[in-house]
Amino acid sequence: MEKQHLKLTEPDQKYLTELMSKGQVKARVMRRATGLLQLHQGATLQKVAQLLGVDDNTVGIWRNRYVEKGLDCLIDAPRTGRPIRIDGTMRAKVTALACSDTPAGRATWSLQLLADKAVELELVETISPSKVREILKKTS
């Protein structure tokens, strides 16, 4: 069985060449574009990986994504990350609570008291005293 090299379409090859000549491209995109052009010219996965300082499996992934998605393979997929648990509205409510009158028998709010009261009033599901401190520190 004959080894198949990646064949870029003429417009894709032209786009990648122009993209690389601009110099205003993220390093990841530049590396992927270089890898695709090298594969198009007949270089092996190992040769391209060695040239770009990445693993040959990574170059294989780039090749497969190009076959599946075309030039969209250059763009990173959105990353999920941890969802925000305490949004701006909740922060504002905690800040407003800290500015409100203190409970009977207290001269000032403590961080623990604010955290407990915010949960009690269902302003937030859970919050630690250190998170309350962080929220209040960001307000002037």
Residue 62 maps to a domain? yes
Residue 100 maps to a domain? yes
CA distance 122 to 47: 59
Tokens found for residue 17: 């060449």
- Report angle CA 8, 32, 52 to the nearest 5 degrees: 115
Range of the domain at 15: 10-74
* Whether the predicted model's global pTM rises above the 0.85 cut: no
Q: pLDDT by residue (tens digit) across 22-73? A: 878 888 999 999 999 999 998 888 999 999 999 989 999 999 999 998 988 8
Residue 132 maps to a domain? yes
